[in-house]
Amino acid sequence: MGVKSRTARPRATRIAGLGAVAAGLLALLSGCSLEDVGGAFGHFGWPGPGVSLQAHKMYDLWIASVIAALVVGIFVWGLIFWCIIRYRKRGDELPVQTRFNMPMEVLYTVTPVLIVAVLFYYTAIVQTDVDKLSRNPDQVVEVVAFKWNWQFNYRDGVGKDAGTVTSTLGSDDQIPLLVLPTDRTIRFEETSPDVIHSFWVPELLFKRDVFPGNVRNQFEVTLDKEGRYVGHCAELCGTYHAFMNFEMVVVSPQRFDQFLQAKKDGADTAAAMQAIGFAGDERYAVTTKPFDTRRHGQSWNQSGQTQITAGK
Ligand SMILES: [Cu+2]
């Protein structure tokens, strides 16, 4: 019996270890991209692989981390169930009491440290990449978030002293459009005249706070997928915070240039959208619509009851 358990133990550990490694290698060697793996599992909670080069890097990091966590998880679950079955109580005899097994102690101290170090290394690399600012971005957009809407200023240079070429602005009854090109480096510079807001487009897999005062938060994206995506304010900024939606419209660089030109020539946003081929309702936001804030009539949570009186 004693001889049997001494040989059985390393063999079982080896099989479990090989199983975990094989599971990891299988995903890599089967030619599946991380996007394929993520897609098969609902992107493990994320809204998809994203629409910018920066988003793809974050997505890959996320999916790879989840796969690594699952491999470790399957290995640990395997060990637990193997121990439960292999060492279940068979009689009243006290099992061998093993304490201070040095190799084991070293293993379960070093392994988690290694895992954290690897995760940290790749996180630091992706984070640095996502935060990187280029010397001369192709397009600069000043994001102005205010209670409770957005203005997007297309700028002729970087920094707060640059000039605004043209703007799109949201109102109570019109969702603001943020029209942007693919394949160009876009720098966002954020500012707010009142409180802290947060610029968030879920498909960018990214959000960044918009501060009032002297802080101009910046970040860059290079978009690679045309489409229309709803954006939100992700920082609780006041009564109508939840209604602060905008729409990011991603078009080809040529159409973007036409849009800017139409705006510069004095067209309003809907007319400029028409100039680049959007007709009818497509000239306005299609992913979201203005909310009925009822802010001038009655309290929005008591239908038809309370009247807000002027000066209150
Ligand atoms: Cu806000």
Q: Find the 257 Cα to ligand 1 centroid distance in Å.
A: 29
Q: Which of 37-51, 170-184, 291-305 has the lowest mean pLDDT?
A: 291-305
The CB density around residue 300, as the number of other CB atoms within 10 Å, is 16
How many residues does this entry show for the chain?
312
Q: Are 16 and 78 in contact (CB under 8 A)?
A: yes
Mean pLDDT confidence for 210-227:
96
Residues 69-114 have pLDDT tens digits of 999 999 999 999 999 999 888 888 888 888 888 998 999 899 999 9
Question: What token pair was written down for 127?
Answer: 């984070």
Reading across the β-sheet that carries 217-222, which strands appear in turn? 164-169, 149-155, 139-146, 185-191, 217-222
Residue 10 confidence (pLDDT)? 54
Of the two residues 308 and 193, the one the predictor is more confident about is 193
Q: Find the 175 Cα to ligand 1 centroid distance in Å.
A: 14
Q: Which helix (H) or strand (E) holds 207?
A: strand 206-210
Residue 308 confidence (pLDDT)? 40
User: Is 6 a residue whose pLDDT tops 50?
Assistant: no
Q: Find the 152 Cα to ligand 1 centroid distance in Å.
A: 14
Percent of the chain clearing pLDDT 90 (strictly above): 70
User: Is 247 a residue whose pLDDT tops 60?
Assistant: yes
Q: Find the 145 Cα to ligand 1 centroid distance in Å.
A: 7
Helix (H, G, I), strand (E, B) or coil at 215: coil
Q: Find the 237 Cα to ligand 1 centroid distance in Å.
A: 5
Averaged pLDDT of the chain: 87
Q: Which of 15-19, 43-47, 157-161 has the highest mean pLDDT?
A: 157-161
**Amino acid at residue number 194:** D
Q: Which helix (H) or strand (E) holds 233?
A: strand 227-233
Of the two residues 14 and 45, the one the predictor is more confident about is 45
Residue 118 confidence (pLDDT)? 95
- Report which DSSP code applies to 43: G
CA distance 20 to 4: 24
Q: Which helix (H) or strand (E) holds 219?
A: strand 217-222
| 23: Cα within 13 Å, side-chain hemisphere | 15
Residues 52-81 have pLDDT tens digits of 999 999 999 999 999 999 999 999 999 999
**Ligand 1 (ion): which residues have CB within 5 A?**
197, 233, 237, 241, 244
Could you tell me where the DSSP H helices lie in the chain?
2-29, 34-40, 53-86, 102-131, 253-264, 269-275
User: Is 14 a residue whose pLDDT tops 70?
Assistant: no
Q: Which of 1-5, 98-102, 234-238 has the lowest mean pLDDT?
A: 1-5
Core vs surface per residue 257-286: b (16+ CB within 10 A) or e: ebbbebbeeebebeebbbbbebeeeebbbe
Residue 26 confidence (pLDDT)? 59
Q: What is the pTM of this model?
A: 0.80
Residue 296 confidence (pLDDT)? 57
- Which of 223, 202, 61, 38 lies closest to 126 in space, CA to CA? 61
